[in-house]
């Protein structure tokens, strides 16, 4: 696909619609082993140190993995 053929704006609704249904059916939004002790992660507010950079991506990704 050529760059000129890409739509000017990403339509996430058409992409996510089918995926979200599969995630719900697979149980991705439910807790795993309910016999384990629950825990929380406190997310700090965004820093006002400047523009977003790869460090933000890494930090957020690691929190999502946990």
Instruction: Give one DSSP letter per residue of 6-47, joined into a string.
Output: S-SS--HHHHHHHHHHHHHHHTTTS-S-TTSPP---PPPPPP
Determine the pLDDT at residue 15: 81
* Total count of domains within the chain: 1
Domain that holds residue 8: 3-65
Q: How far apart are CA 56 and CA 66, in angstroms?
A: 16
Q: How far apart are CA 4 and CA 12, in angstroms?
A: 19
The pair of structure tokens assigned to 21 is: 């249904």
pTM over 0.85, yes/no = no
Render each residue's pLDDT in the chain as its tens digit; 66 residues: 666 788 888 888 888 888 888 999 999 888 778 888 887 877 776 666 677 788 888 888 888 887
């Amino acid at each position: 696909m050529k760059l000129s053929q890409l739509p000017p704006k990403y339509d996430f609704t058409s992409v996510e619609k089918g995926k979200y249904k599969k995630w719900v059916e697979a149980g991705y939004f439910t807790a795993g082993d309910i016999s384990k002790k629950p825990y929380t992660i406190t997310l700090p507010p965004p820093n006002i140190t400047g523009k977003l950079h790869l460090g933000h991506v890494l930090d957020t990704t690691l929190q999502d993995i946990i």
